[in-house]
């Protein structure tokens, strides 16, 4: 099987980017080990603090964030990092050429039930005229990403990643500690009969998505004339991994409860990297009002509505908005 380095070189990634990706994955391998220890290491449960999002932090949130922060600050390749768990950006090397944004442990509530969780990351070039502690350096649309991916901590530890030359899946071989290519240039099926959405929020959705899901549930007797299954992991990494592997649509739509917080998912840490992966696999990624990767961020913790997945199903969903 092809090793990570070989695939990245084949895709034309520059050496410094390859070394940065390997640095991120070194941190993820440490997180994978901590996750696997679970209750044995006393890392389960919540802390007494909240992050900048107002969410109660899990112990593994804090541990994972610190692992990645320390690893990236020591690497020398990174000018600054932005994390879902940090109030503002963390300066690193003033001469670093890259910016890294990450969600250190997506789906951390699943740690209590030993279910799927993961790390999501994206990399962009660092504007050399900006200071390392300047958050505006991160206010770039997703089209500026040079790499993005997630590491899924499941029965096996898997990496999905793109550098703009297709989306590849890797599996961590724990016998030698490296990621090996197990599926290259994956393609998301254009049609699907599966959807993933948190149906408990239905009363808060806008009318277009309400009607869309209603028609899906109506199945073969409804206007879509097809029976659908609903799947929901409660961790974006798990749901997106399923969509990448066998098709589907994942939706976290606009929510009318708080106009200042139009979606649950963060643009920099979740929506953009997953959109990059999905588009490189032939899928679509939209907010309901336009392409996710073209959204110009206004602040580093900005949230957006998210529709991701099989091309024809996302187009069908978007037709309800018209």
Residues 120 and 162: beta-carbon distance below 8 Å: no
Distances (CA, A) of 210 to 202, 203, 284: 7, 8, 20
Cα(47)–Cα(30) distance, integer angstroms: 20
108 is in an annotated binding site: yes
Output phi, psi for 57, to 5 deg: -80, 135
93 is in an annotated binding site: no
Q: Whose CA is closest to 239, among 128, 104, 117?
A: 117
194 is in an annotated binding site: no
198 is in an annotated binding site: yes
With residue 78 as reference, give the H or E element that holds it.
strand 78-83
299 is in an annotated binding site: no
106 is in an annotated binding site: yes
Tokens at residue 77, please?
Answer: 């390749």
Q: Whose CA is closest to 21, among 10, 5, 32, 33?
A: 5
Cα(65)–Cα(120) distance, integer angstroms: 11
With residue 31 as reference, give the H or E element that holds it.
helix 15-37
225 is in an annotated binding site: no
122 is in an annotated binding site: no
109 is in an annotated binding site: yes
Output phi, psi for 119, to 5 deg: -115, 135
> 229-230 and 194-197 as β-strands: parallel, antiparallel, unpaired?
parallel
Cα(313)–Cα(93) distance, integer angstroms: 43
Output phi, psi for 102, to 5 deg: -155, 150
64 is in an annotated binding site: no
Strands (E), 84-205: 90-91, 98-106, 117-125, 145-153, 157-162, 167-173, 178-183, 194-197
In degrees, rounded to 5, the angle at the alpha carbon of residue 40 between the alpha carbons of residues 34 and 44 is 65
Cite the annotated binding site for Mg(2+) by residue number. Answer: 84, 103, 105-106, 270
Cite the annotated binding site for substrate by residue number. Answer: 106-109, 198, 264
Cite the annotated binding site by residue number. Answer: 84, 103, 105-109, 198, 264, 270
């Amino acid at each position: 099987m092809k090793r990570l380095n070989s695939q990245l070189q084949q895709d034309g990634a520059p050496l410094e980017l390859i070394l940065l990706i390997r640095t991120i994955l070194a941190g993820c391998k440490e997180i994978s080990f901590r996750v696997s220890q679970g209750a044995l290491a006393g890392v389960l449960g919540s802390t007494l603090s909240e992050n900048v999002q107002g969410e109660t932090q899990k112990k593994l949130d804090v541990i994972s964030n610190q692992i990645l922060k320390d690893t990236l600050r020591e690497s020398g390749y990174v000018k600054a990092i932005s994390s879902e768990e940090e109030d503002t950006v963390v300066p690193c090397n003033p001469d670093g050429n890259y910016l890294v944004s990450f969600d250190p442990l997506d789906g951390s509530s699943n740690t209590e039930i030993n279910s799927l969780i993961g790390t999501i990351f994206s990399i962009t070039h660092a504007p050399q005229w900006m200071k390392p502690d300047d958050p505006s350096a991160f206010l770039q649309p997703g089209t500026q990403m040079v790499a993005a991916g997630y590491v899924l901590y499941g029965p096996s530890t898997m990496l999905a990643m793109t550098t703009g030359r297709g989306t590849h899946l890797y599996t961590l071989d724990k016998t030698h500690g490296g990621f090996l290519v197990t599926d290259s240039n994956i393609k998301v099926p254009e049609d699907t009969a599966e959807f993933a959405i948190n149906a408990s929020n239905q009363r808060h959705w806008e009318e277009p998505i309400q009607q869309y899901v209603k028609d899906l549930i109506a199945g073969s007797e409804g206007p879509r004339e097809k029976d659908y299954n609903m799947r929901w992991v409660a961790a974006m990494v798990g749901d997106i991994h399923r969509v990448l592997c066998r098709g589907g649509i994942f939706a976290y739509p606009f929510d009318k409860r708080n106009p200042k917080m139009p979606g649950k998912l963060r643009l920099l840490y979740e929506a953009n990297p997953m959109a990059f992966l999905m588009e490189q696999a032939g899928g679509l990624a939209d907010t309901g009002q336009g392409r996710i990767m073209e959204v110009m961020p206004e602040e580093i913790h900005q949230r957006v509505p998210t529709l991701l997945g099989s091309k024809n199903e996302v187009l069908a969903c978007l037709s309800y908005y018209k």
